[in-house]
């Protein structure tokens, strides 16, 4: 592992080991020159291949002929931002440190900066970090209206970091955190970085879009139902370890009670409802298009259902607003009943009232007549009994 270049009086040593540290002496005639070689060795756990949210362990070792110095160690990530390690344990020869939880954007070349005042050391050690994960936020929330089309996307960074080793994963859906998960699809990546997906569920209406870029996992819901809401979790696995990313789908629907045209002077209740809880900075709003401030009603914090009593026909809209930004809107058109329909309704009400009154009178008259017939029959029966008693007495005499 060494050779000497006589013309330059150089000793070249490659593939250094910690045991190569020490004092090297060059003798040339009566001349002697001493050089002290200080060697550092940096190792990173999992050979530098991580999933997001994993914590790398760094081991830094040093060896020297002189007493080992106390080192000051600082890290800089791939964006050249300072990262302070968490020192687990150390002696002068070995430093064991943990870095922060990794994100997909942390992939790249990191630098370990080693410093010492005595002896004077200022050494930078570069090492590669590859973080396989999702470029999505930790918990993404997506809003949709009933019967609309929604595409849920997860962006893997395997192409960006040229991750050639295969990994597998699956996409699950469940309506609530504690509900049973249903597997929608599974996927795997070949050694060439190609992504393959296989549809698993047969009783759930969804599609796998085609023509998408590599390392993007997508699910298309062509016609969203209210019960399609819930958590969609994409999970990938590499060498027995897992990473996941969730998208919370919240679906909105609107309805009215009673359903149908709004008669003049009548009231109707408009109902706007979302399928899941909203963040504190989000709320629902009913308002009439081209209406006044009196035609606006906002939900309270954490309300997922907003009801509004109205007496005016027109186009009404329910908005889901988050951070003063309208995420989705759903309209409900309230028709006004025609005038002749109003007259028909009024006439029908009057006729109905008259019929009820007439029926009541008929019932009263029938009752009186029945009572009179009953009394007449009773009197006739008494008269026959009286006559019968008189005839009996005459026969006895």
pLDDT 10s digit of each residue in the chain, 397 long?
888 888 878 889 999 999 999 999 988 888 898 999 999 999 999 999 999 999 999 999 999 988 899 999 999 999 999 998 999 988 889 999 999 999 999 999 999 999 999 889 999 999 999 999 998 888 899 999 999 999 999 998 888 888 777 789 999 999 887 888 899 999 988 777 778 889 988 778 899 898 888 789 999 999 999 999 999 999 999 989 999 999 999 999 999 999 878 888 889 999 999 999 999 999 999 999 988 888 999 999 889 999 999 998 999 999 999 999 999 999 999 998 775 445 555 566 666 777 777 777 777 777 777 777 777 777 677 667 767 666 555 554 4
Q: How many residues does the chain have?
A: 397
Q: How many domains does the chain have?
A: 3
Contact 55, 102 (CB under 8 A): yes
- Choose the final residue of a domain: 334, 357, 387: 334
Q: Is residue 22 part of a domain?
A: no
Taking the C-alpha atoms of residue 169 and residue 191, their distance in angstroms, rounded to an integer, is 15
**Residues 111, 177: one domain?**
no
Q: Is residue 264 part of a domain?
A: yes
Picking from 121, 97, 109, the residue whose alpha carbon sits closest to that of residue 38 is 121
Structure confidence at residue 390 (pLDDT):
66
**Residues 247, 266: one domain?**
no
Taking the C-alpha atoms of residue 81 and residue 111, their distance in angstroms, rounded to an integer, is 10
The full DSSP string for 266-283 is --EEEEEEESSPPPTTEE
Q: Is residue 396 part of a domain?
A: no
- Choose the final residue of a domain: 131, 166, 198: 131
Alpha-helix residue ranges (DSSP H) falling in the chain: 339-396
Q: Give helix then strand counts, H and E, for the chain.
A: 1, 27
**Residues 63, 159: one domain?**
no
**Residues 247, 154: one domain?**
yes
Q: Is residue 51 part of a domain?
A: yes
**Residues 212, 311: one domain?**
no
Picking from 165, 172, 174, the residue whose alpha carbon sits closest to that of residue 186 is 172
Contact 51, 236 (CB under 8 A): yes
Structure confidence at residue 251 (pLDDT):
97
Q: How far is CA 384 from CA 375, 381, 390, 396, in A?
A: 15, 5, 10, 19
**Residues 175, 208: one domain?**
yes
Classify 335 as helix, strand or coil. Answer: coil
Place of tokens 């990191």: 110
**Residues 154, 247: one domain?**
yes
Q: Is residue 369 part of a domain?
A: no
Phi, psi of 363 (to 5 degrees): -65, -40
Structure confidence at residue 365 (pLDDT):
77
Q: Is residue 15 part of a domain?
A: no
Please compute, for residue 11, the number of CA atoms within 13 A of its CA located in the half-sphere on the CB side: 14
Contact 83, 103 (CB under 8 A): no
Distance of CA 389 to the CA centre of its chain: 99
Domain carrying residue 189: 140-251
Taking the C-alpha atoms of residue 124 and residue 318, their distance in angstroms, rounded to an integer, is 59
**What pTM was computed for the model?**
0.74
Strand partners, 183: 172
Q: Is residue 362 part of a domain?
A: no
Structure confidence at residue 141 (pLDDT):
93
**Residues 242, 299: one domain?**
no
**Residues 247, 144: one domain?**
yes
Q: Is residue 18 part of a domain?
A: no
- Choose the final residue of a domain: 313, 334, 355: 334
**Residues 96, 164: one domain?**
no
**Residues 268, 236: one domain?**
no
Q: Could you tell me the CATH number of the domain that includes residue 110? A: 2.60.40.10
**Residues 124, 146: one domain?**
no
Structure confidence at residue 346 (pLDDT):
59
């Amino acid at each position: 592992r060494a050779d000497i270049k006589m013309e330059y009086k150089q000793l070249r040593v490659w593939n250094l080991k910690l045991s190569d540290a020490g004092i090297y002496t060059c003798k040339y005639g009566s001349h002697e020159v001493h050089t002290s070689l200080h060697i550092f060795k940096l190792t990173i756990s999992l050979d530098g291949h991580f999933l997001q949210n994993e914590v790398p362990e760094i081991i830094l070792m040093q060896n020297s002929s002189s007493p080992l110095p106390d080192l000051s160690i600082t890290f800089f990530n791939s964006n050249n931002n300072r990262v302070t390690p968490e020192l687990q344990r150390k002696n002068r020869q070995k430093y064991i440190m943990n870095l922060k939880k990794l994100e997909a954007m942390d992939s790249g070349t990191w630098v370990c900066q080693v410093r010492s005042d005595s002896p004077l050391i200022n050494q930078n050690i570069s090492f590669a970090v590859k973080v396989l994960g999702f470029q999505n936020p930790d918990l993404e929330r997506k809003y949709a209206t009933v019967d609309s089309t929604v595409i849920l996307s997860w962006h893997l960074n395997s192409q960006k970091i040229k991750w050639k080793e295969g990994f597998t994963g699956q996409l699950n859906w469940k309506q609530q955190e504690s509900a049973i998960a249903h597997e929608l699809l599974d996927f795997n990546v070949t050694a060439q970085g190609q992504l393959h997906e296989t549809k698993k569920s047969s009783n759930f209406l969804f599609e796998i879009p085609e023509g998408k870029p590599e390392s993007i996992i997508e699910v298309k819901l062509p016609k969203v139902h209210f019960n399609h809401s819930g958590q969609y979790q994409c999970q990938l696995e590499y060498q027995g370890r897992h990473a996941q990313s969730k998208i919370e789908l919240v679906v909105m629907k609107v309805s009215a009670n009673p359903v149908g045209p709004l008669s003049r002077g009548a009231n109707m209740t408009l109902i706007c409802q979302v399928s899941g809880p909203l963040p504190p900075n989000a709320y629902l709003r009913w308002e009439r298009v081209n209406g006044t401030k009196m035609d606006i009603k906002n939900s309270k914090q954490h309300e997922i259902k907003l009801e509004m009593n109205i007496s005016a026909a027109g186009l009404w809209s329910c908005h889901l607003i988050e951070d003063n930004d309208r995420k989705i809107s759903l309209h409900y058109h309230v028709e006004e009943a025609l005038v002749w329909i109003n007259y028909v309704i009024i006439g029908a009400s009057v006729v109905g009232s008259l019929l009820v009154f007439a029926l009541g009178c008929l019932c009263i008259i029938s009752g009186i007549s029945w009572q009179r017939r009953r009394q007449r029959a009773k009197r006739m029966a008494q008269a026959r009994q009286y006559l019968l008693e008189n005839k009996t007495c005459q026969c006895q005499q």
